[in-house]
């Protein structure tokens, strides 16, 4: 993350002394992503394909965590990391590079990091992944499950040390300590938490986070069972916002229109947000009945990896900052559009410097629709008066280089 990025805190005007130290909490698997771009076509069996671009970065849940942190939210991630070089690289990139709190994360001795190879071509990407589920950390001998040796809640270090000290939770500074107990029974206090719902899977931490005052934002994946039953998503009952794509929303609501589906979902959750791909996004506030729709920004996509995560991060930012619904959708769509112009999930997540540079540039382009520009006028109150030139140059991390 560039040191020139403007230090914008989108929640500065809302912060109070008794607020949680954490703005957003999330958990999930971290992958090492290896991304190839500049492929003219899909790889062909029996041949060798050369890509014109390549980069490596933390992936999986790290895409969302990075997107949140770059937008100025204090982000805490609970994840397992392998004790191989890939795991060390991902830990360092997230904690030192992005400022993400990893105090609830842990390293797993002898477990290798999951890896995804992503190949981007023709505006889409194909991925090949490999990994094994991380074993839960074992509590210290003689310690009841769910506590550390000091009786701290599961997931806590038990030392009272501040987050981000550079030492993975569950190890000492030399890597010889006892693994910390598994998260997620006691998530930290946070303004918001982000969950990924799956049919038939209960996530106790989601209910715990909601009880502690966190607003729960959730997306959902493809239902391999084919039942598409909202009642099979137990976490939905705790959600502030549910953000499926158009196909998922229509299948879950048995409707043939994504906007109709959004209204149906708003009867189950306070905020229903349906992404419409190239058409943009549509949202309904179930409390007030207010609906908003914002068209997508037309861009030349290099790599769509992580765009959905960036969209959610932008919407969470706007919601926590208490922006109007249409502004939240516009900002989420903008950040997603900026992300697909770069490659890699976490690599491409924009920060405020990128948003400011885009806003500075777009107003100088001839033949802009005044109404379309007005849709983003709220940025004037958020952004610094000066910004770096567009396009911005991004560092492309490659494993093995030392600064």
Q: What letter would DSSP give residue 182?
A: P
Find the helix or strand (DSSP H, E) in which 116 lies.
Answer: strand 115-121
Q: Is the peptide bond before 391 cis (omega within 30 degrees of 0)?
A: yes
- CA 326/CA 376 separation, integer angstroms: 10
Q: Are strands 124-130 and 190-197 parallel, antiparallel or unpaired?
A: unpaired
Instruction: Write out the chain's pLDDT in tens, 403 residues.
Output: 333 444 689 999 999 999 999 999 999 999 999 988 888 888 889 999 998 888 888 999 999 999 999 999 999 999 999 999 999 999 999 999 899 999 999 999 999 999 999 887 876 778 899 999 988 766 544 444 443 333 333 333 333 333 333 333 333 333 333 344 445 567 999 999 999 999 999 889 999 999 999 999 999 999 999 999 999 999 999 999 999 999 999 999 999 999 999 999 999 999 999 999 889 999 999 999 999 999 999 888 767 777 899 999 999 999 999 999 999 999 999 999 999 887 777 888 999 989 998 998 898 888 778 888 899 999 998 886 655 555 554 445 567 665 5
Q: What sign does the CA torsion over 48, 52, 56, 62 have?
A: negative
What are the Cα distances from residue 106, in Å, to 90, 116, 226, 343? 12, 21, 35, 28
- pLDDT at 120 (0 to 100): 78
Q: What b/e sequence results for 110-121 when a residue is b if at least 16 CB atoms lie within 10 Å of its CB, and e otherwise?
A: ebbbbbbebbbb
C-alpha torsion 235→237→243→245, nearest 10: 80
Q: What letter would DSSP give residue 172?
A: -
- Helix, strand, or coil here: 187? coil
- Token pair 């969302």 is found at 64
Residue 312: phi and psi, rounded to 5, are -60, -45
- pLDDT at 108 (0 to 100): 94
Confidence (pTM): 0.85
- pLDDT at 142 (0 to 100): 44
- pLDDT at 368 (0 to 100): 79
CA-wise closest residue to 81 among 206, 169, 203, 187: 169
- pLDDT at 7 (0 to 100): 66
Contacts of 172 (CB under 8 A, 6+ apart): none
């Amino acid at each position: 993350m560039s040191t020139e990025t403007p230090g914008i805190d989108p929640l500065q005007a809302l912060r109070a002394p008794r607020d949680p130290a954490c703005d957003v909490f999330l958990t999930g698997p971290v992958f090492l992503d290896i991304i190839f771009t500049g492929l003219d076509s899909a790889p062909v069996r029996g041949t060798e394909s050369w890509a014109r671009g390549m980069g490596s970065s933390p992936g999986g849940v790290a895409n969302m965590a990075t997107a949140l942190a770059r937008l100025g939210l204090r982000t805490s991630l609970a994840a397992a990391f392998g004790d191989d070089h890939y795991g060390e690289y991902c830990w360092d990139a997230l904690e030192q590079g992005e400022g993400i709190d990893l105090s609830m994360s842990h390293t797993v001795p002898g477990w290798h990091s999951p890896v995804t190879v992503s190949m981007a071509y023709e505006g889409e990407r194909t991925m090949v992944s490999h990994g094994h589920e991380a074993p839960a950390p074992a509590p210290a001998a003689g310690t009841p499950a769910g506590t550390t040796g000091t009786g701290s809640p599961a997931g806590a270090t038990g030392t009272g040390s501040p987050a981000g000290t550079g030492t993975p939770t569950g190890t000492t500074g030399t890597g010889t300590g006892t693994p910390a107990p598994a998260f997620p029974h006691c998530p930290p206090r946070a303004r918001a938490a982000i969950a990924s719902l799956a049919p038939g899977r209960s996530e106790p931490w989601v209910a715990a986070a909601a009880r502690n005052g966190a607003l729960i934002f959730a997306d959902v994946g493809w239902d391999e069972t084919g039942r598409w039953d909202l009642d099979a998503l137990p976490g939905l009952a705790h959600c502030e916002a549910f953000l499926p794509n158009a196909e998922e929303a229509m299948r879950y609501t048995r409707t043939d229109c994504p906007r109709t589906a959004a209204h149906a979902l708003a009867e189950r959750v306070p905020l229903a947000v349906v992404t419409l791909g190239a058409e943009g996004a549509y949202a309904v506030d179930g409390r007030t009945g207010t609906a908003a729709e914002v068209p997508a920004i037309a861009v030349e996509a290099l790599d769509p990896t992580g765009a959905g995560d960036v969209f959610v991060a932008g919407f969470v930012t706007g919601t926590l900052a208490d922006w109007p619904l249409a502004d939240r959708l516009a900002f989420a769509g903008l950040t997603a559009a900026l992300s697909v112009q770069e490659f890699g999930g976490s690599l491409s997540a924009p920060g405020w410097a990128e948003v400011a540079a885009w806003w500075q540039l777009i107003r100088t382009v001839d033949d802009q629709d005044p109404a379309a520009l007005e849709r983003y006028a709220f940025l004037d109150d958020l952004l610094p008066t000066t910004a770096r030139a567009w396009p911005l140059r991004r560092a492309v991390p490659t494993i093995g280089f030392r600064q």
